[in-house]
Amino acid sequence: MLAVDFPLHFDQRGRTAVTNEDEHIREMIEQFLFTNNGERVNRPDFGSGLLQLVFAPNSAELAATLQFTIQAGLQRWLGDVLDVLGLEVTSQDSTLRVQVQYRVKRSGEVRSAEFLRSPT
């Protein structure tokens, strides 16, 4: 299965770039993580709000709160595509690191992805 690549761009032939299913699922997780609530008109509660918290005082409590809300959001918005097996949110200095381990429902394959964000 091919899907539109994210972010939207054109390939060498001038056509809309596409990607495979595994990369598309990773991109959907990234879109959820780095979309702020209210940013999408037809889905105002889509997103984790992670970008808003990059500038908040970093603490273990912030990481724990994010871990809970991200896991719930992934289950809600991407639960038909994947099962979250593990999620770890860590904060170090001004950087948030999100590590997600998930099972692709269609193939049963276990994958992991890491996402980093800092205020720079």
CA atoms within 13 A on the CB side of 62: 20
CB contact at 8 A, 83 and 76:
no
Say if CB 84 and CB 67 are below 8 A apart: no
What integer is the mean pLDDT of 93-113?
89
What pTM value is reported for the model?
0.80
Find the angle CA(88)-CA(36)-CA(44) to the nearest 5 degrees.
120
**Helical H runs in the chain?**
21-33, 50-53, 60-78
Higher pLDDT, 19 or 31: 31
Pair 59, 53: CB distance under 8 Å: no
Q: Could you give phi then psi for residue 37, rounded to 5 degrees?
A: -60, 135
Model pLDDT, residue 13: 86
Q: What six digits make up the tokens of 49?
A: 């709000």
User: What's the one-letter identity of residue 9?
Assistant: H
Compare 24 and 100 and report the one with higher pLDDT: 100
Which has the minimum average pLDDT: 13-17, 25-29, 55-59?
A: 55-59
